[in-house]
Amino acid sequence: MATMWTTRVRRATIEKIDPQDALPDNQPSYVASWIYVFGVLTLAALAVIIGSGLILTVRGASWWHTSGVGHYVNSVHLWAVELFFVFMVVHLWGKFWMAAWRGRRFATWVTGTFCFLSSLATAFTGYLIQGDFDSQWIATQAKDGLNSVGIGSFMNTLNSGQALLLHVALLPLGVGLIVVWHVILVRKNGVVPPLDAKEIAGGAA
């Protein structure tokens, strides 16, 4: 039975998950600061981005130019992105000053940085597909940078169709997977203790 692929996958995944780690109803006493809220605020803003993005996707790329409701949904999408980045940057700085990579949490930090960088790419393609002057300007300006290092030969900012598909399919999938991975690592490894907590933890070591 141990050689069954299904058994191996179950042992490597589900059986390794402690329900108390996955959905804890308590946290170490040091988890008491507003800085901890910014991670969940980032996730909340991401949820609004996905929700408003799905509406825009269903109604089509030019809907928001002709409909008042569409324009509002587009505005929600825009401001969700703006706040998403604000929350994420505060979260990131918080984690830096907490040296949150300690205790084999380096992978958590790395997935966090990839969340940020993949979000930049996703937001950038969003600006390319608005179908307005901003899109035209950003596309014509950004092409030079991308072309200069060879990326432009494969990702053409002037091709709205390519940018649209990247924005609604490939990149959100990438961001989503990295965010899920990041959250799993956070839950698996727990919240990093305060710096110099060794004297207090005592027996925990």
Partner 1 sequence: MSTKERNVDLAKWSGPKRPYDLVKELVIALVVVTLLIGACAAVFGSPDERAVTLQQWGQNAPSDFVATATGELAGSTISAGYGAPYNDAAEGLTLGPLKLQKWAGITIPVNPAEDFVLKPLKSSIDSAVPTAVATWSAASADQQAKWAEDYAAAIEKAGDSAKVVEDAAYGPVPVMTAALLHLAQEGSLDGLLTTEVTPLPSDFTMPLLFLADGGYFDELGAQQHLHGDQWGMMNETGSYPGQSWLWMFSFMYQIEPFKSSENADSQIFAMLFLLNLGFIFMPKLPLINRLPRLIPFHRLIWRRYYRENNL
Measured from the CB atom, is 9 or 201 closer to partner 1? 201
Q: Which of 7, 15, 140, 170 binds partner 1 (CB under 8 A)?
A: 140
184 closest CA partner among 2, 10, 23, 8: 23
Could you tell me how many residues make up the chain?
A: 205
Q: Note whether 181 binds partner 1 by CB under 8 A.
A: no
Q: Is 152 in the site for partner 1 (CB under 8 A)?
A: yes
Rule CB under 8 A: which of 52-111 touch partner 1? 64-65, 71-72, 74-80, 82-83, 85, 89, 94, 96-99, 101-106, 109-110
Q: Shortest Cβ distance from residue 87 to partner 1 (Å)?
A: 8
Of residues 9 and 169, the one with the C-beta less far from partner 1? 169
- Please give the Cα distance from 24 to 122 (Å, whole number): 32
Cβ(83)–Cβ(43) under 8 Å? Answer: no
Span interacting with partner 1, options 6-14, 144-152, 166-174, rule CB under 8 A: 144-152
- Span from 5-13, 139-147, 169-177 in contact with partner 1 (CB under 8 A): 139-147
Range in contact with partner 1 (rule: CB under 8 A) among 8-16, 173-181, 195-203: 195-203
Whole-number Å distance between alpha carbons of 95 and 100? 5
With 0-12 / 13-18 / 19 or more C-beta atoms within 10 angstroms meaning exposed / middle / buried, residue 178 is buried
Q: Is 156 exposed, middle or buried (0-12, 13-18, 19+ CB in 10 A)?
A: middle
Long-range contacts of 194-199 (CB under 8 A, 24+ apart): 194/30, 194/98, 195/98, 195/99, 195/102, 197/30
Closer CB to partner 1, 105 or 182, in the complex = 105
Binders of partner 1 among 4-43, rule CB under 8 A?
23-33, 35, 37, 40-41, 43
- Give whichever of 152 and 176 is closer to partner 1, judged by the CB atom: 152
